[in-house]
Amino acid sequence: MRFQNTISFARKLDQVDPLKSFRSKFHLPKILGKETLYFTGNSLGLQPKSTLKFITDELEDWAQLGVEGHFDAKRPWLHYHKFSKKALAQIVGAKPIEVVAMNQLTVNLHLMMTSFYRPTAKRFKIITEAGAFSSDQYAFETQLKFHKLDPKVALVELQPRPGELTLRTEDIIKSIEAHSEELALVIFGAVQYYTGQFFDIKKITDAGHKAGAYVGFDLAHAVGNVPLSLHKHNVDFAVWCSYKYLNSGPGGIGGIFVHQKHATNFDLPRLAGWWGHDVQERFQMRKGFKPMSGADGWQLSNFPVLSGAAQLASLDIFQQAGIKNLRKKSILLTGYLEFLLKMVDPDGKHFSIITPSNPKDRGCQLSILMKQHGRKIFDKLMKARVLADWREPDVIRITPVPLYNRFVEVFRFSEIFKRALS
Ligand SMILES: *Cc1c(COP(=O)(O)O)cnc(C)c1O
């Protein structure tokens, strides 16, 4: 599409947007009673108006039924992990048996690494992107130490080429090949939280498998943002949180994907709890752990219903909108943002956009690397009620989300940003 730098053009895009009605399904934050430009759905997604009802339903059932709610609630609590399966499976491109909502992201990362990072004297290395999210870095470091390995030797962190800002797929594959004899695990943030780069999941997975390693992805910034085909791409495992693009509320329930090929591989070591035990026998409280097949067999604890209820409200909206339609709008919306940003600073004097410019290599987010006065400019944005995200030392992340952001908002942002730069 040929974009135009006018408010009337932005308005036109909003008018013809097939998803425009979804914005009204969300609460839009205000500052001192005034409208904001909310561009931090990559950090905390907005609250669906329906969330209140989903949670209230459970509170009422709890009040009315007490413990019997496990069986008699409108959505029986005993089976609560099943209610989100279909939608989650669609969102990550999986079969229902391959996904389950449970715990939170970092916990799930440790659980998955317990099963899929099995270092031996010969094969012990982990390959990941340099500058991974801190929590992931801490997980990798402490997993290595847990196995009595030195992170300096066993953790391979891939840097972009000198002078470049994001990784090239060919370089990732070359590194995987170079370490193949010693490689145990390849793990990447599917969409890198800092740069916004969407890695080539299929190529990385194929290369990892060819090297004889397991391959996993952290979907924190990918789930609900970009199209995923984890089953088809043969990914071994993935983990995610749900409070970013999945709009499930602060600290909302996380999730895992375990490929079907591992569904009945009960030899994989795992840390177990009763909710992962064979459901027929779960309440017999007998000795001897018998995992359920599929992702369910990694569950530990009984399901956090209130947090799960909030997630169901959001997944319902995703089902209505359709992940393909969301992606289509997202490409336009972020494309429009990129177009306008280039108009604001045509010579690249003030900033450069780190995020890849090819839409297939990114999701909603654009990361803007400020060349000078970054923090000051960010503060000016905040003053103009733009809710954006500052990452030390010099990056502003702007994320228009197709469920609730409008083209007009992107346009307004570009005007505010221009003023902030001058
Ligand atoms: C948001 C995010 C996390 C947060 O982890 P929690 O366990 O949910 O607190 C971890 N990793 C990445 C890549 C993230 O983007």
DSSP 176-212: HHHTGGGEEEEEEESB-TTT-BB--HHHHHHHHHHTT
- Looking at the structure, do residues 21 and 70 belong to the same domain, yes or no? no
User: For 212, left (φ over 0), alpha (ψ -120 to 50), or beta?
Assistant: left
Q: Is residue 2 part of a domain?
A: no
> Which position has the token pair 């916004």?
196
pLDDT score, position 280: 87
Structure tokens at 235: 């990914």
Which residue, by CA, sits nearest to atom 13 of ligand 1? 133
Q: Is residue 111 part of a domain?
A: yes
Domain end, chosen from 273, 294, 319, is at 319
CB-ligand 1 contact for 220 (6 Å cutoff):
yes
Distances in whole angstroms, Cα of residue 119 to Cα of each of 35, 125, 172, 271, 405:
52, 7, 21, 17, 45
Strand partners, 210: none
CB-ligand 1 contact for 195 (6 Å cutoff):
no
User: For 367, left (φ over 0), alpha (ψ -120 to 50), or beta?
Assistant: beta
Residue 194 CA, ligand 1 centroid: distance in Å: 12
- Looking at the structure, do residues 295 and 359 belong to the same domain, yes or no? no
Mutate to test the pocket of ligand 1, among 105, 191, 243, 244 (most ligand atoms within 8 A of CB): 105
- Looking at the structure, do residues 80 and 220 belong to the same domain, yes or no? yes
Q: pLDDT (tens digit, 0 to 9) for every residue of the chain, 422 residues total?
A: 899 999 999 999 999 999 999 999 999 999 999 999 999 999 999 999 999 999 999 999 999 999 999 999 999 999 999 999 999 999 999 999 999 999 999 999 999 999 999 999 999 999 999 999 999 999 999 999 999 999 999 999 999 999 999 999 999 999 999 999 999 999 999 999 999 999 999 999 999 999 999 999 999 999 999 999 999 999 999 999 999 999 999 999 999 999 999 999 999 999 999 999 998 888 888 899 999 999 999 999 999 999 999 999 999 999 999 999 999 999 999 999 999 999 999 999 999 999 999 999 999 999 999 999 999 999 999 999 999 999 999 999 999 999 999 999 999 999 999 999 98
> pTM (2 decimals)?
0.97
pLDDT score, position 386: 97
CB-ligand 1 contact for 106 (6 Å cutoff):
yes
Q: Is residue 1 part of a domain?
A: no
Mutate to test the pocket of ligand 1, among 40, 103, 104, 106 (most ligand atoms within 8 A of CB): 106
Residue 241 CA, ligand 1 centroid: distance in Å: 7
Handedness of CA 90, 96, 99, 101 (dihedral sign): positive
pLDDT score, position 321: 98
The half-sphere exposure of 223 on its side-chain side, counting CA atoms within 13 A, is 32
Q: Is residue 14 part of a domain?
A: yes
CB-ligand 1 contact for 104 (6 Å cutoff):
yes
Residue 106 CA: which ligand 1 atom is closest? Answer: 7
Residue among 392, 363, 364 nearest 378 (CA) = 392
pLDDT score, position 283: 83
Domain end, chosen from 301, 319, 337, is at 319
Q: Are 200 and 169 in contact (CB under 8 A)?
A: yes
Q: Which domain holds residue 297?
A: 55-319
Domain end, chosen from 319, 354, 386, is at 319
Residue 132 CA: which ligand 1 atom is closest? Answer: 13
Angle between helices 374-383 and 407-421 (to 10 degrees): 130
CB-ligand 1 contact for 129 (6 Å cutoff):
no
CB-ligand 1 contact for 105 (6 Å cutoff):
yes
Residue 251 CA: which ligand 1 atom is closest? Answer: 8
Phi, psi (rounded to 5 degrees) for 121: -55, -35
CA angle 344, 345, 349 (to 5 degrees): 155
pLDDT score, position 286: 87
